[in-house]
Amino acid sequence: MATTGPRVVKAALKTLLVAKPALSGVDVFTYTAKLEEQMREFLILGNVDADVEPNAMGFSTLSEYTIDCHSVVRQPEPDDTADRAWAVLDAVAEVLIANYTATGNVLDANLTKWTIDETVDPDGGRRATITFEIRVRDLSA
């Protein structure tokens, strides 16, 4: 029976992210939630795309997967919206560097491939959304 996997890793990452002082006030979800308009800052650890390679001996498997993530910052003023979104992404990167194993069987977890989209909300406020991937290599027994 596997002791890790995307669900376990996402839960562990959420626990680490919520405890990070730089992410105070940022709501963290391990699913795509129905988001409230009043939410100012949030992270979504979303969908998973996985490749699994069984060990030749059949005792363990190497899973490589990406977790699609979104960091969204909404501000009434445009000046610091993108800066804050990048600060949130930096905090995620710091968590991955300091705790790259997340659980006992994770070999590594890295922040990869990101894009930023800056838009104007209907109320005139600004929104910066950074879409990024966390790539995980997980050896499950």
Residue range 55-62: average pLDDT? Answer: 64
Say which amino acid occupies 110: N
Say which amino acid occupies 30: T
Which among 106, 23, 119, 98 has a CA at the least distance from the CA of 63? 106
User: Phi and psi dihedrals of 93, rounded to 5?
Assistant: -60, -40
31 with 48: CB under 8 angstroms? no
Which among 43, 137, 37 has a CA at the least distance from the CA of 90? 43
Candidates 3.30.565.10, 3.60.9.10, 3.30.1330.10, 3.30.2000.30; CATH matching 6-120+134-140: 3.30.2000.30
Compute the distance between CA of residue 68 and CA of residue 6 in angstroms, rounded to an integer: 11
pTM beyond 0.75, yes or no: yes
Segment 85-118, tens digit of pLDDT: 999 999 999 998 887 666 667 788 888 889 999 9
Instruction: Give the contacts of 93 (CB within 8 A, at least 6 positions apart).
Output: 111
Q: What is the mean pLDDT of the chain?
A: 83
Domain ranges of the chain: 6-120+134-140
Compute the distance between CA of residue 103 and CA of residue 108 in angstroms, rounded to an integer: 10
Read off the pLDDT band of 75 (50, 70, 90). Answer: confident
pLDDT at 22: 94
